[in-house]
């Protein structure tokens, strides 16, 4: 499925909005996409009149964004995730044939797997209709977007990064942000756990430059496969062949020996100098925070090839919800059978988008014995990308559907025993900003698979009464709201004007803990206590369970404020990713977006 075919499919199902208004690649186009993806009837966007006002350049290539804009689109472009998962489960449980008909059936199944392996073509592809080499290969000829004010520059956000191992036996397709340093240099944000980073160290040890090629566009399934959590060493285009039922067709690059899909719209070829690094970032990332500037490898561009009439694909990241909400749901469904091979008693799992995936996982298991949930938690924390999950909550098979947020939350709060929480420590995602040490932080496991816990022996007060008592102790408390007071573990959330470590605040509020079971503290700035969706986003982003959980008088106090030197936090704490108000207002005046103050407040725009 080429990009033009994708556009026609989207048009056919009324899932594409074409924007002919002249808009800038600096902030304007990304801000429109950021607003669109948060709308309940979100559509893909095709920008036909992109400009760079800073340089005065106009681009012929349209920009396609928000392509994975809804569950319906994901099903159109990828397929039914449950059905694909069932096919994988069938393969995993295939038994030796017992008779002639079984043999025929197995032969048919295995014969269909021939489409899994990518096919290398001997001819050039559509992606090489136009070839620019050396000095003529300029990244500024592409409409690469700058999304946020604090971004270090323009970033390619939907690039398919193709690499291979030093011995050529392993190939990899990954999806990473790529900073345009200048016309001929592209930053490689390779996180420490990615295959491409492992390959990089092989080339570095051998003292050889590493070939890299970046594709843009083509079948949207390439992008989804690039972010799929496959085991190390499995080429992601094999998953493409399995889902599509046909081989990915690859062509050799012009200036290096890598192969890329023939039908992508753009290819950037080059080599990474393994001896040198360059500052990359900051960048407003999918966590909703800026990831800070750090040293990363960079690619020296040797060629840019593209179709005669290319379309530039991009995405936007920031605070949820984003289009990875819909991509992530497909990932959950398709990879559930593989996860069950590690945790056989796993029934289902769900990673809510406001938990930005690695920060929160909900799982349902068939509990067979005491400690079973904790055993599965350890299994999760030891397998692939699941090892980066910070907070895991497990429920039993009698729990409501994991996506029934209200009912599930009540079920969990009726079964939490705060004296029996599992606090651990381990690897966290490289994008995590809350841990005291890069890449290593606190883990929280909550076992809610058992019976109802005893109702809390606390004297619940009305919000206004409890707030007045807090204010009588300190004027740092700005606002208070209680949630789920009907459950055995009610929640009390307060916002504060932070002037000291929250340990001291908790000590001052000790006498009030007879009225509180779980107290959660957030900063007053940029938080609204009547917005639970974004409060969950904030809390799971901001806490390290080893540092920020404080137990007193059978109550739990959680510090979800931004950390600083008062807390002994020595790393830099990044800013929230937020839209530029003047850009939002300009887009409103042009009639490109139509949102009100309530929308902006709801999503902390």
304 by DSSP, 3-state: which? strand
Backbone angles phi, psi at 351, to 5 degrees: -120, 95
Q: Specify whether the CB–CB gap between 389 and 229 falls below 8 A.
A: no
Q: Which of 263, 285, 348, 567 is catalytic?
A: 285
- What the block records as the tokens of 23 is 């808009």
Q: Indicate if 285 belongs to the active site.
A: yes
- 278/293 Cα distance (integer angstroms): 10
- 37/45 Cα distance (integer angstroms): 10
Beta bridge partners of 483: 491
Closest CA to 42 of 404, 353, 401: 353
Task: Estimate the crossing angle of helix 81-92 against helix 324-342, to 10 degrees.
Answer: 20
Q: Torsions phi, psi of 497, nearest 5?
A: -90, 95
Asked if residues 505 and 478 have their Cβ atoms less than 8 Å apart, the reply is no
Q: What share of the chain is helix, strand, coil (3-state, %, to 5)?
A: 35, 25, 40
Beta bridge partners of 496: 477, 523
Query: Are the beta carbons of 29 and 65 closer than 8 angstroms?
Result: yes
Q: What stretch of H or E contains 445?
A: strand 440-448
CB 502 within 8 A of CB 561: yes
What is the C-alpha separation between 279 and 179, in angstroms, rounded? 10
Enumerate residues 6+ apart whose C-beta is below 8 A from 372: 345, 365, 449
Question: What is the set of active-site residues?
Answer: 285
């Amino acid at each position: 499925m080429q990009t033009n075919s994708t556009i026609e499919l989207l048009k056919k199902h009324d899932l594409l909005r074409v924007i002919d208004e002249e808009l800038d690649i600096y902030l304007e186009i990304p801000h429109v996409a950021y607003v669109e993806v948060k709308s309940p009837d979100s559509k893909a966007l095709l920008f036909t009149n992109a400009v760079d006002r800073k340089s005065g350049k106009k681009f012929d290539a349209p920009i396609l964004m928000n392509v994975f804009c809804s569950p319906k689109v994901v099903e159109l472009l990828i397929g039914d995730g449950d059905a694909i998962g069932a096919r994988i489960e069938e393969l995993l449980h295939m038994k030796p044939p017992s008779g002639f008909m079984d043999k025929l059936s197995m032969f048919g199944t295995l014969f269909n797997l021939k489409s899994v392996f990518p096919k290398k073509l001997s001819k050039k592809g559509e992606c090489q209709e136009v070839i620019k080499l050396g000095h003529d290969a300029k990244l500024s000829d592409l409409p690469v977007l700058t999304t946020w004010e604090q971004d270090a520059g323009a970033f390619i956000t939907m690039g398919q990064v193709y690499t291979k191992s030093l011995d050529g036996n392993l190939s990899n397709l990954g999806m990473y942000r790529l900073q345009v340093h200048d016309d001929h240099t592209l930053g490689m944000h390779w996180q420490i756990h990615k295959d491409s980073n492992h390959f990089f160290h092989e080339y570095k040890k051998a003292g050889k430059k590493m070939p890299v090629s970046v594709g843009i566009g083509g079948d949207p399934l390439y992008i989804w496969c690039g972010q799929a959590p496959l085991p190390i060493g499995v080429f992601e285009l094999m998953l493409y062949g399995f889902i599509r039922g046909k081989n990915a067709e690859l062509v050799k690059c012009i200036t290096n020996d890598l192969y890329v899909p023939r039908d992508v719209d753009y290819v950037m070829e080059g080599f990474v100098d393994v001896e040198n690094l360059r500052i990359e970032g900051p960048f407003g990332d999918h966590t909703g925070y800026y990831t800070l500037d750090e040293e990363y490898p960079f690619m020296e561009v040797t060629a840019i090839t593209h179709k005669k009439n290319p379309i530039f694909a991009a995405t936007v990241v920031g605070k949820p919800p984003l289009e990875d909400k819909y991509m992530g749901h497909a990932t959950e469904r398709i990879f559930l059978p593989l996860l069950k091979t590690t945790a056989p008693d796993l029934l289902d799992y769900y990673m809510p988008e406001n938990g930005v995936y690695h920060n929160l996982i909900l799982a349902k298991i068939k509990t067979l014995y005491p400690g079973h949930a904790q055993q599965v938690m350890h299994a999760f924390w030891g397998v692939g990308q699941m090892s980066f999950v910070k907070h895991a909550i497990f429920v039993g098979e009698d729990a409501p559907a994991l996506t029934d947020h209200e009912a599930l939350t009540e079920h969990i709060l009726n079964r939490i025993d705060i004296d029996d929480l599992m606090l651990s420590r381990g690897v966290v995602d490289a994008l995590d900003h809350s841990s005291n040490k890069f890449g290593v932080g606190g883990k929280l496991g909550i076992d809610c698979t058992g019976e109802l816990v005893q109702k809390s022996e606390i004297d619940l007060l009305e919000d206004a009464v409890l707030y007045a008592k807090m204010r009588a102790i300190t004027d740092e408390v700005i606002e208070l709201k209680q949630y789920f007071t009907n459950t055995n573990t009610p929640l009390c959330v307060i916002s504060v004007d932070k002037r000291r470590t929250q340990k001291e605040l908790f000590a001052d509020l000790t006498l009030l803990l007879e009225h509180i079971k779980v107290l959660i503290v957030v900063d007053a700035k940029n938080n609204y206590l009547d917005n639970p969706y974004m409060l969950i986003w904030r809390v799971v982003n901001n806490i390290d369970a080893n540092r920020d959980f404080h137990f007193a008088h059978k109550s739990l106090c959680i510090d979800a404020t931004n950390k600083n030197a008062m807390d002994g936090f020595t790393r830099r704490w990044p800013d929230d990713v937020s839209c530029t108000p003047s850009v939002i207002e300009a887009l409103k005046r042009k009639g490109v977006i139509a949102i009100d103050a309530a929308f902006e407040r709801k999503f902390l725009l």
